[in-house]
Amino acid sequence: MRPALPVILRTVLFSFLLLSSCAIVYTTVLNARTAQSLADSSLESTALSLSTSAENALRIGGERMNEEIREILSDRVVAYALIAGSEGTVLFHTNPRLVGTRIAEEGLKEWLRAGRTSGRRVTLGTGLSAYEFNYVLHRPDGDSEILRLVLHTAQADRIVAGARHLWWTVGLALILLWTVGILLERVFARHLRLQAESDRREHLALVGQMTATLAHEIRNALGSVKGYTQWVSEKVGESDPKKQGLAAVLRGTERIESLVNDLLLFSREETYSVESVDLESLVRDTVETETSSWTGKLEQETAHGIRAMADFEKLRRVLSNGIRNAIQAMGPGGTLRVSARAEGARAVIRIEDDGPGISQEELPRLFTPFHTTRADGTGLGLAYSKKAIEGMKGVIELSNRPEGRGAALVIRIPKGG
């Protein structure tokens, strides 16, 4: 079976949304990573350039050496800087009071011997984030000292913060993308549904016209057959063997007549003369007519004075079919419950039986024309009922009773004044 167009559309649309979302997220992750490494390398190059300047000042020496180094390291980005000897004694500090203290550093000597520079992110005692850069200073006398620069990271981290802000923009863009996508899907699906519905209506109208013409012709021809058979049957004596055959012909014509009548009812364009109908008496009379020869138990509960806005004849036909269906489902016994009451702005009629109920396979086909499980059924009763009740701006449902056995036909129509 070919997949339906809405399914294909939905798949294409959601695949597109998913792929573009993935592409956007991937690019943003990449961007965030680049921003982080950009920030780190900017810190490293600042530290390196400050360190080499300090080293140069140290090489040149002279009286103003310390002042010069202090000046170089007084850059705003420097949180503090120190120079320590291989034993860890602080020889220089941007805070002069700390000169002479010691830095506790394991493996300092080895590290100095290896002569490598290193940088890492640390957290200061104030809780601020900083970048610690260690640089080996080679003194003119061949000794090595460590220059430790601790830089504020705020400026560099602004690049990272910028990338982080991008996440908000990306998030909003994704929400927008998905909202537009879902709306588009809804609009498309609705358009296709309406299109299919209008195609179905057109098709039904055509079938209806054909059926109506055909049914008229059959009914006319049937009128002659029935009339003539009845006439002959009256002439033939009771003991005549032809009598039985004629009775069978009559039964056949009656069956065809009822089928044709149902077909005509279902297929013709109906006009509705909706008025305020006294439901109490309509329900009572219909129940009485339909159950006159039935032997089961009847429970009736109609709210006093209840009225509905309905087409009297059509509603009577719908109720007759509902009651007949219930009785046919139960057979000669069982309990039939018919009730009519007001629920909000609606009048609700319920026809409940305790028959076998409706199977799961049958449920979706209930209101489709010609669906019947009875040998002498036409399968047009419920299809007509749906058309008629919807024509009165109501709804009709048939389902298994939630409590106990059997089925319940529920009709909701606007309440009458």
Considering only 18-26, 162-170, 178-186, 319-327, which stretch makes contact with ligand ADP by CB under 6 A? Answer: 319-327
Residue nearest to Mg ion (CB): 381
In degrees, to the nearest 5, what angle opens at C-alpha 232 toward C-alphas 226 and 233? 85
CB of 230 or CB of 320, closer to Mg ion: 320
CB atoms under 10 Å from CB of 408, counted, come to: 20
Q: Among 69, 81, 329, 389, which residue sits at the site for ligand ADP (rule: CB under 6 A)? A: 329
Q: Match 């012709």 to its residue by tokens.
A: 217
To ligand ADP, the closest distance from the beta carbon of 219 in angstroms equals 19
In degrees, to the nearest 5, what angle opens at C-alpha 353 toward C-alphas 351 and 354? 160
CB of 68 or CB of 352, closer to ligand ADP: 352
Give the number of residues in contact with ligand ADP, rule: CB under 6 A.
21
* 372 contact choice in ligand ADP, Mg ion, none (CB below 5 to 8 Å, kind-dependent): ligand ADP
**At residue 128, what are phi and psi to the nearest 5 degrees?**
-80, 150
CB of 33 or CB of 255, closer to Mg ion: 255
To Mg ion, the closest distance from the beta carbon of 417 in angstroms equals 31
To ligand ADP, the closest distance from the beta carbon of 235 in angstroms equals 35
Q: Is 354 buried (19+), middle (13-18) or exposed (0-12) by CB count in 10 A?
A: buried
Interaction with ligand ADP in 356-375: which residues (CB under 6 A)? Answer: 358, 366, 371-374
Those residues whose C-beta lies under 8 Å from the C-beta of residue 413, and which sit 6 or more positions away, are: 308, 309, 310, 315, 346, 347, 349, 389, 392, 393, 394
To ligand ADP, the closest distance from the beta carbon of 345 in angstroms equals 27
To Mg ion, the closest distance from the beta carbon of 351 in angstroms equals 12
Interaction with Mg ion in 322-351: which residues (CB under 5 A)? Answer: 325
Cβ contact 413:335 at 8 Å? no
To Mg ion, the closest distance from the beta carbon of 322 in angstroms equals 8
Question: Does 407 contact ligand ADP by CB under 6 A?
Answer: yes
Reported for 290-295, long-range contacts at CB under 8 A and 24+ positions apart, including other chains, are 290/320, 290/323, 290/324, 290/327, 291/323, 291/327, 291/336, 294/327, 294/332, 294/336, 295/332, 295/333
Q: Where are the alpha helices (DSSP H) in 73-153?
A: 108-114
Helices (H) and strands (E) in the chain, counts: 8, 12
* 153 contact choice in ligand ADP, Mg ion, none (CB below 5 to 8 Å, kind-dependent): none
Question: Does 385 contact Mg ion by CB under 5 A?
Answer: no
Cβ contact 80:93 at 8 Å? yes
Cβ contact 84:103 at 8 Å? yes
**Distance set, CA 114 to CA 106, 110, 120 (Å):** 14, 6, 18
Q: Pick the closest to residue 383 from 198, 193, 190, 207 (CA basis).
A: 207
Question: Does 46 contact Mg ion by CB under 5 A?
Answer: no
- Sketch the per residue contact string, 9 through 48, with ligand ADP: x for CB under 6 A, - otherwise: ----------------------------------------
Q: Pick the closest to residue 274 from 303, 307, 302 (CA basis).
A: 307
Q: Among 229, 321, 385, 396, which residue sits at the site for Mg ion (rule: CB under 5 A)? A: 321
Question: Does 267 contact ligand ADP by CB under 6 A?
Answer: no
- C-alpha 248/C-alpha 391 separation (Å) is 38
* 17 contact choice in ligand ADP, Mg ion, none (CB below 5 to 8 Å, kind-dependent): none
Considering only 129-137, 143-151, 175-183, 353-361, which stretch makes contact with ligand ADP by CB under 6 A? Answer: 353-361
Residue ranges in contact with ligand ADP by CB under 6 A: 321, 325-326, 329, 353, 355, 358, 366, 371-374, 377-383, 398, 407
Residue ranges in contact with Mg ion by CB under 5 A: 321, 325, 381
